[in-house]
Amino acid sequence: MERKQLVRDVKRAALTRLEDAARTVEDFQTVIKTWDGLDENRERKERFHEVGRDETILELNYTDGIVLPAPIIHPAWREAMNGEFIEMIYDNAEEMWQLVEDWDVSIELENLSVKQKDVVFLSAVRLCTPQQIACFQDKTDRAVRKLLAVALEKIRDYLAGVIRWQIQTGDPNMTLAKRQFLERYEHLNCDLDVKKSVLDKTKHE
């Protein structure tokens, strides 16, 4: 233990001398490169101990119709080994609303149809593409995209109304992210209304 502490102290002193001696652009680039290497090592160690989500390990492994078990480094298994089983229990389309922190979003997720829940779960949680979902469910990717768009539009319409009510009443749960969502939502709807009016005018002409 004392030896490791001594090594850390020596490296820290060497880095301090390197910083103090820097005079040219090359010297400062060397200092920056050294700090970048230290940051990469720190982040690598943190990623090993954290329970995080990575799209490469969230993909379903299908082989001849069989889903292979997730590797031991999968976040769900690491949480289970720590005694946290919530995500493993609710890791399915019917119960995914239990994993959402925002109550308004969880309500809308629970109220979706079974087909809508399936595509939202595979898209948002499993990070599957419409083509992959279409392959899993024996549908066309166009049908999957339409089903997903309808489900998301339903959630957005409901959330927009809730956010407007929270702004009017001064709800303490109002956040900057919600305001930004409402601005994007209203801007998008305004653009759609303009395009619709132009198309209607063109048809009448």
- What number is the average pLDDT over the span 115-128? 86
- What number is the average pLDDT over the span 175-182? 83
DSSP state of 67: E
Q: How confident is the model at residue 205 (pLDDT cuts 50, 70, 90)?
A: low
| Residue type (1 letter), 130 | P
Q: Are 21 and 27 in contact (CB under 8 A)?
A: yes
- What number is the average pLDDT over the span 35-45? 81
| Residue whose structure tokens are 């969230």 | 58
Kindly calculate the radius of gyration of the chain based on its CA atoms and give it in whole angstroms: 25
Distance CA 119, CA 4 (A): 51
- Both tokens of residue 108? 């809308």
pLDDT at 204: 54
> Phi/psi at 34 (nearest 5 deg)?
-65, -45
- Both tokens of residue 10? 């020596």
Q: Write out pLDDT tens, residues 1-23.
A: 677 778 778 888 888 888 888 88
Q: Write out pLDDT tens, residues 67-87.
A: 545 556 566 677 777 777 777
Burial of 97 (0-12, 13-18, 19+ CB in 10 A): buried
pLDDT at 198: 47
pLDDT-above-70 percentage for the chain? 77
Work out the angle between the directed axes of helices 176-204 and 141-169 (0-180°, nearest 10): 120
pLDDT at 27: 85
Reported for 142-147, long-range contacts at CB under 8 A and 24+ positions apart, including other chains, are: 144/119, 147/115, 147/116, 147/119
Beta-bridged to residue 63, according to DSSP, are 66
Mean pLDDT of the chain: 77
Strand 62-63 relative to strand 66-67: parallel, antiparallel, unpaired? antiparallel
